[in-house]
Amino acid sequence: MAVASYLPQTLQERSLDSECGIKGTPSSLVEVIEQRRDDEASYQSLEGRDAEIQVTAYFHIAVFANSTEDKASNEAVKAQFQLLKDTYALYGINLSLGGISREVNDTIAVLSVWTLDETENEILGSTVETEDYWKRTRTGSYETLHIYFYEDLIGTAAFCNFAKPGRPESDYYLDGCHLRINVLLGGSAPYRAYGTTLTHEVGHWFGLFHIFAGGCEGEGDYIDDTPAQTVTSADGTCPLGTKDTCPDLPGTDMVNNYMDYTADPCRDTFTPGQHSRMHNVFWAVRSGK
């Protein structure tokens, strides 16, 4: 197991618009996917699998004591949630807003120390104060989505835990999505404040990998209708149909896919295969059916 610890850095040492913290694909989830590929191909014909997924989402906002009242306001969070809800509704996933909490605490407002299992892409822990924050804001089951926004997140702009097979209830507090406030819809991050950064992260929560996973070799993201590609940077362009980073393989780069790294305004779709994957992983791992 490869473990990384993210420690405080100065703003000069990193980019404020750095990408999602997910690296590679988690082996335990890949094993489930490989075992259930036949189910995935026909999930709509399986009992219960064709039902609309129902997920309650809770937002937790942590800000500095000197932050203005309108920073990541409830109105801004509700607008972000509505975009998320409208997007996932297109794929048979119905999100409802369970609540919005606000933590005014200079220590909690920066996710400054967190330990990551890089093999499973799983947060293992943080400081005592931060873990207490996660525990006291956690409610619901493994089917409940918790989304945390911070003034700052060390090491990346956003991170979200995958569905982990066999996760014990005692560790549910470690499950969730973590993002910088500047990538909230209407935030200040260049090319990253149009609301689809959260769509991308929640895609991980539902079991989707980056579409550039593996580059031009291997199984990639384990989905057949996302052509192999390498990563697309968020430079503000949308080279749909013209960028082909794996020219020896079928298809061009799907830079408009939510699970690419292209700029927020470019991302507007999941494929049928990703739709199927999200349902299959939810029923198999999060719901356990």
The residues assigned a catalytic role are: 201
Chain centroid to Cα 238, Å, comes to 21
CB 286 within 8 A of CB 143: yes
| H/E segment holding residue 92 | none
For residues 24 and 214, give the distance between their C-alpha atoms in angstroms, rounded to a whole number.
7
Place of tokens 């040492």: 13
**Dihedral angle computed from the Cα positions of residues 85, 166, 261 and 62, in that order, rounded to the nearest 10 degrees:** 60
- Strands 110-111 and 122-126 come out as unpaired
DSSP state of 171: G
166: region left, alpha or beta (phi > 0 left; psi from -120 to 50 alpha): left
